[in-house]
Amino acid sequence: MSAPAATQALRIDQARLIERLDQLAQIGPIDGGGSCRLALTDDDRRGRDLVVSWMRELGMAVHIDAIGNVFGVRAGTRELPPVMTGSHIDTVRTGGRYDGNLGVIGGLEVVQTLNDAGIETERPIVVAFFTDEEGARFAPDMLGSLVYVGGMALDEALDVRGIDGARLGDELERIGYAGSAPMTTLKPAAFVELHIEQGPVLDAEGLTIGAVEDLQGISWQELTITGQSNHAGTTPMRLRHDAAYAAAAVANFVRQLTREMGGSQVATVGKIDLHPNLINVIAARARLTVDLRNTDETLLQQAEQRLGDFLQQLAKDEGVTIESRQLARFEPVIFDAGVVQRIEAVTSRLGYSQRRITSGAGHDAQMLARICPTAMIFVPSIKGISHNPAEHTEPADLAAGGNVLLHTLLELASQET
């Protein structure tokens, strides 16, 4: 469909977009300009309250479902399934100001641009933010959107315990975001998520827009290694059952595994907790996490298999027991070719440089892809830095992403799509 010239010329307001990003970043601020709003904490609540107030100012109807996902609805001219955009506003402990936030505030900026221009769409436009996308407090990550698409039972999700022992359902009630909207009322005709790349590709190649065509599979497990605490001076090396050494051996193995597998395989041990964690005591227990990702499901399973084999041998050699608990497992996702092509077409029309790209991170869009045509729009992250207060994207690139989102949504919101 081709829109009238006035519509074609429409652009979002860069200053306003950045102003809202700055305001949100001031909730749960951390040194370096980032934010810490772990899911369902008081700071997450304050962030939610602010975004909901913006939705209301924009005349949107706000729906909150039972897992705390929030949907702002801008009415359409016809009774049709809506076009949805959005992302998340929860962060990791060392979060930047754009991860997630850009997709939500970008959606609001699109709505305000349409409001100010007096442009109506046939389909409603929904701007959503989903609960606990990061998974930094409650595993698995992308929990809210997973429940939304029916990939996890609501009751199971509400019973999830956080790293601080808190029950997700209780925290949801506590911050006042246990809503009543049924999960199904807003089944979208399409979903588009604007997000920073969180990787170095666009920045390194000097490109403005990434049309995301697929997304890595993710495998998260928590390992609990039980050895025997003993005196660090008097225990001969051959008689040790050292949980700390075993944990270190795992971290070294997965690094080696990525060297051998190459390609898109990445592996991270980001969390290690030792007990008793003392200088002169051989550790009795280690709890660590392993994050494996690959765009190819077969290779990802191969990585999991090789890690499993290694753990068996390690347990035997060191005389420790190793229990593995899967925290999250998502297969790689291929986004909808039609929506990806539409993003590419809009980007060319607007005159931005671009490439097709793979997402190395998990995103709510991968869950929405289960129920409707879905794709994502990436803008560059300087040096690929993310999950870090130094996370940065140039204002012009933020605006470019907003404009691509604006015109992609405009097209999708016309009945023909």
Q: How far is the CB of 166 from a second copy (least distance, A)?
A: 16
- Here the tokens at position 199 are 């990787």
Q: List the interface residues with a second copy, window 378-417 (CB under 8 A).
A: 384-388
Stretch that binds a second copy, among 1-9, 170-178, 267-275, 297-305 (CB under 8 A): 267-275
Cβ-based nearer residue to a second copy, 114 or 269: 269
Binding mask 79-118 for a second copy (x = CB under 8 A): -------------xxx------------------------
How is the chain split among helix, strand and coil, in percent rounded to 5? 35, 25, 40
Find the part of the chain contacting a second copy (CB under 8 A) among 114-122, 171-179, 193-201, 302-310: 193-201
Interacting span for a second copy (CB under 8 A) from 73-81, 135-143, 172-180, 340-348: 135-143
Q: Is 154 near a second copy (CB under 8 A)? A: no
DSSP string, 276-323: S--TTEE-SEEEEEEEEEESSHHHHHHHHHHHHHHHHHHHHHHT-EEE
Judging by beta carbons within 10 Å of its beta carbon (0-12, 13-18, 19+), is residue 233 exposed, middle or buried? exposed
- Does the footprint of a second copy cover residue 200 (CB under 8 A)? yes
Site string for a second copy, 1-40 (x = CB under 8 A): ----------------------------------------
Q: Return the H-helix or E-strand segment holding 225.
A: strand 217-226
How far is the C-alpha of 190 from the C-alpha of 80, rounded, in Å? Answer: 12
Say how many C-beta atoms besides its own lie within 10 A of residue 193's C-beta.
33
d(C-alpha 265, C-alpha 306), whole Å: 13
One-letter amino acid identity for 196?
A: I
Give the relative orientation of helices 14-25 and 42-57 as an angle to the nearest 10 degrees: 150
Q: Least distance in Å: CB of 388 to a second copy?
A: 5
Binding string, 326-365, against a second copy, x = CB under 8 A? -x-------------------------------xxxx---
| Interface residue with a second copy, options 3, 58, 251, 372 (CB under 8 A) | 251
Shortest separation between residue 240's beta carbon and a second copy, angstroms: 8
d(CA 71, CA 416) in angstroms, rounded, equals 24
What are the structure tokens assigned to 49, written together? 């309250």
- CA-based max dimension of the chain: 82
Q: Whole-angstrom Cα distance, residue 205 to residue 201?
A: 6
**Total chain residues near a second copy (CB under 8 A):** 70
**Per CB under 8 A, 270 contacts a second copy:** yes
Which residue of 58, 248, 350, 371 would you call a contact of a second copy, by CB under 8 A?
248
**Residue 24, Cβ neighbours under 10 Å: how many?**
23
Choose between 31 and 79: whose C-beta lies nearer to a second copy: 31
User: Which positions touch a second copy (CB under 8 A)?
Assistant: 92-94, 134-136, 139, 141, 197-200, 216, 218, 220, 222, 228-237, 239, 242, 244-245, 247-252, 255, 258-259, 266-274, 276-284, 289, 291, 293, 327, 359-362, 384-388
